[in-house]
């Protein structure tokens, strides 16, 4: 089977999510200094006037169940624009929004002309905490944790883009925070709501593949620069951008146009999580859902191009070894290995894959001792049993999982109390452990060694120096 063009992110997002409303934090926002001595827990003043709800249903039509939900958007460009597209048609309220780049204000201002604008979400939370119910966060990765934990501490529901955090430690903190604060949470890996990953789960858990021995996951990323050094040139910061707040918890560095903001931050250790962090929460989602791997016992960088202290390598292959496990329903599985490939690297074609079929630019292979699954794309939505003779015999799996009303809608339903706070299927109890395990792969890449992992103690046991990368130093004013 020839490789087909992957589903675009925009078209996929339109398919996977349903409109809803919440307080959103975006990838291109933040600004101003945090007012000295201002307490984040201090009650916020009442708004001067209520924010105008947009696109209410015409007279005589039922009111949207989300029409009273007050949302703040942190990040209004890029993925933040998608958050707006998904929620504003439901007539939600937006008292305020935030973006470090004021050039990103125009579209949201058209939709919510009375909403107040901020460039620093710390200021927004200080002043608006009584005026918002939920937050959607679409910032660069290094801002995911600070924005999310501040919102949760104030009792706000949160929808945070993938990867959930920048470091494993941050993922552990948000997993625990979800238990503590009992707010509705969801990570933005929208493929979790689609049919594909459910079919993969049902084939595997229904026994169609037999015993899973290995899972291969690969991506066509990076599509941004990696394997480069920090530029020596410095540019003046444009008036529309608050560079100090964009840096946020990261170490201070000079501004250079188009090197970091607004897209290429993904390739820098201080700001992003590389191709692995950017895409594995999509592409490896089926493995985590169906096999519930838990903590790995080892993580190994099988193949890596040159590594430096500034950016991720141009290409890598990473291997996780997972121990045997017992599922919540009492079923058991033996141990297995999971692989990740990026930078154009892919697994070897399986010997039993029909001649003439190839591997898509992004995809997966689930290898069992009875049959296997091949997937095209990042979201499990083009999955099939191979070889074809076994596909015909096995057929479509028996439904075992509830179907989704939409990834965003799952979260919105929990925000308004229509469903329990843990109803969203990629809530932080699921997304936190998945994110931390994925990010352990970046640490193995960085140190260039096979690492043995003690999941109970949350530490590497054979290379103690690697433990420094489980967390990071936070700049003054950003330690939450």
| pLDDT, tens digit (0-9, with 9 covering 90-100), for 138-167 | 999 999 999 999 999 999 999 999 999 999
Nearest Cα neighbor of 212 from 434, 372, 418, 70 is: 372
Question: Is 39 a member of any domain?
Answer: yes
CA distance 452 to 297: 6
Burial 172-203 (b: 16+ CB within 10 A, else e): bbbbebbeebebbbbbbbbbbbbebbbbbbbb
Residue 209 placed within a domain: yes
If asked whether residues 158 and 214 sit together in one domain, one would say: no
Structural domain count, the chain: 2
Within a domain: 260:
no
Stated pTM of the model: 0.88
**Considering the domain boundaries, does residue 248 fall inside one?**
no
Do 106 and 219 sit in the same domain of this protein? no
Q: Are residues 213 and 359 in the same domain?
A: yes
Whether residue 311 is found in the same domain as residue 450: yes
CA angle at residue 78 from 77 to 79, to 5 degrees? 110
pLDDT digits (tens, 9 = 90+) for 215-268: 999 999 999 999 999 999 999 999 999 999 999 999 999 999 999 999 999 999
CATH number at residue 137: 3.40.50.720
| Structural domain contains residue 284 | yes
% of residues, the chain, pLDDT over 90: 84
Instruction: Give the CA angle between residues 311, 315, 316 to the nearest 5°.
Output: 105
- Round to whole Å and give the CA distance between 445 and 387: 34
In tens, the pLDDT along 270-329 reads 999 999 999 999 999 999 999 999 999 999 999 999 999 999 999 999 999 999 999 988
What CATH number is attached to the domain comprising 331?
A: 3.30.360.10
Pair 213, 177 in one domain: no
User: 429 preceded by cis ω (within 30°)?
Assistant: no
The pLDDT score that the predictor gives to residue 26 is 36
- Residue 416 domain-assigned (yes or no): no
**Residues 30 and 133 placed together within one structural domain of the fold:** yes
- 398: number of Cβ within 10 Å: 10
Q: 131-142 b/e with 16+ CB inside 10 Å = b?
A: bbbbbbbbbbbb
pLDDT, position 347: 98
Residue ending a domain, among 165, 190, 215, is 190
Full residue range of the structural domain in which residue 133 is found: 9-190
| Residue 186 and residue 297 share a domain | no
Q: Is residue 230 part of a domain?
A: no
**211 and 114 within one domain:** no
- 144 and 206 share a domain? no
The answer to whether residue 259 is domain-embedded is: no
Could you read off the pLDDT tens digit of each residue along the chain, which spans 480 residues?
A: 333 333 344 443 444 443 333 333 333 333 333 333 333 333 333 333 333 333 444 555 678 999 999 999 999 999 999 999 999 998 899 999 999 999 999 999 999 999 999 999 999 999 999 999 999 999 999 999 999 999 999 999 999 999 999 999 999 999 999 999 999 999 999 999 999 999 999 999 999 999 999 999 999 999 999 999 999 999 999 999 999 999 999 999 999 999 999 999 999 999 999 999 999 999 999 999 999 999 999 999 999 999 999 999 999 999 999 999 999 888 999 999 999 999 999 999 999 999 889 999 999 999 999 999 999 999 998 999 999 899 999 999 999 999 999 999 999 999 999 999 999 999 999 999 999 999 999 999 999 999 999 999 999 999 999 999 999 999 999 998
Same-domain pairing of 135 and 50: yes
Tell whether 327 and 221 lie within a shared domain.
Answer: yes
- Percent of the chain having pLDDT more than 70? 87
Other CB atoms within 10 A of residue 409 CB:
23
Mean pLDDT of the chain: 89
Same domain? 319 vs 179? no
Which of 190, 206, 241 lies at the terminal end of a domain, its last residue?
190
Q: How far apart are CA 385 and CA 318, in angstroms?
A: 25
Confirm if 342 and 222 have CB atoms less than 8 A apart. yes
Structure token digits, residue 79: 């993925």
């Amino acid at each position: 089977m020839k490789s087909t063009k992957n589903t675009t992110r925009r078209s996929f997002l339109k398919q996977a999510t349903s409109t809803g409303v919440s307080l959103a934090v975006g990838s291109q926002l933040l600004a101003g200094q945090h007012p000295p001595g201002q307490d984040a827990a201090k009650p916020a003043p009442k708004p001067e006037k209520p924010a105008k709800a947009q696109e209410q249903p015409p007279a005589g039509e039922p009111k949207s169940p989300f029409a009273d939900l007050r949302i703040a958007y942190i990040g209004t460009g890029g993925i933040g624009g998608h958050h707006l597209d998904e929620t504003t048609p439901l007539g939600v309220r937006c008292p305020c929004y935030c973006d470090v780049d004021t050039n990103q204000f125009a579209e949201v201002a058209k939709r919510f002309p009375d909403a107040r604008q901020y460039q620093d979400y710390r200021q927004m939370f200080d002043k608006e905490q009584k005026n918002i119910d939920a937050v959607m966060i679409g910032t660069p990765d290094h801002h995911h944790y600070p924005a999310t934990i501040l919102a949760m501490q104030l009792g706000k529901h949160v929808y945070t883009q993938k990867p959930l955090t920048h470091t494993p430690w941050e993922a552990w903190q948000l997993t625990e925070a979800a238990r503590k604060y009992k707010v509705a949470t969801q990570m933005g890996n929208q493929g979790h709501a689609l049919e594909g990953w459910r079919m993969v789960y049902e084939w595997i858990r229904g026994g169609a593949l037999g015993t899973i021995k290995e899972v291969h996951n690969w991506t066509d990323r990076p599509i941004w620069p990696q394997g480069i050094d920090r530029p020596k040139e410095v540019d003046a910061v444009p008036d529309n951008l608050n560079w100090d707040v964009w840096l946020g918890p990261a170490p201070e560095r000079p501004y250079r146009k188009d090197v970091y903001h607004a897209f290429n931050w993904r390739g820098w250790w201080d700001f992003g999580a590389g191709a692995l962090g950017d895409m594995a929460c999509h592409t490896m989602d089926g493995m985590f859902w169906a096999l519930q791997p838990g903590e790995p016992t080892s993580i190994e960088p099988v193949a890596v191009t040159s590594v430096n202290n500034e950016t991720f390598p141009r290409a890598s292959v990473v291997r996780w070894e997972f121990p045997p496990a017992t599922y919540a329903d009492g079923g058991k599985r033996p141990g297995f290995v999971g692989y990740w490939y990026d930078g154009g690297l892919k697994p070897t074609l399986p010997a039993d894959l029909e001649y003439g079929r190839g591997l898509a630019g992004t995809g997966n292979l689930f290898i069992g001792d009875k049959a296997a699954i091949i997937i095209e794309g990042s979201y499990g939505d083009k999955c099939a049993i191979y070889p074809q003779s076994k596909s015909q015999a096995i057929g479509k799996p028996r439904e075992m999982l509830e179907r989704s009303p939409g990834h965003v809608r799952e979260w919105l339903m929990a925000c308004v109390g229509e469903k329990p706070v843990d109803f969203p299927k990629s809530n932080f109890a699921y997304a936190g452990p998945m994110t931390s395990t994925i990010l352990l792969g970046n640490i193995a890449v960085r140190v260039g060694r096979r690492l043995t992992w003690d999941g109970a103690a949350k530490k590497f046991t054979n290379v103690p120096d690697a433990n420094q990368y489980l967390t990071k130093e936070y700049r003054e004013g950003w330690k939450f």
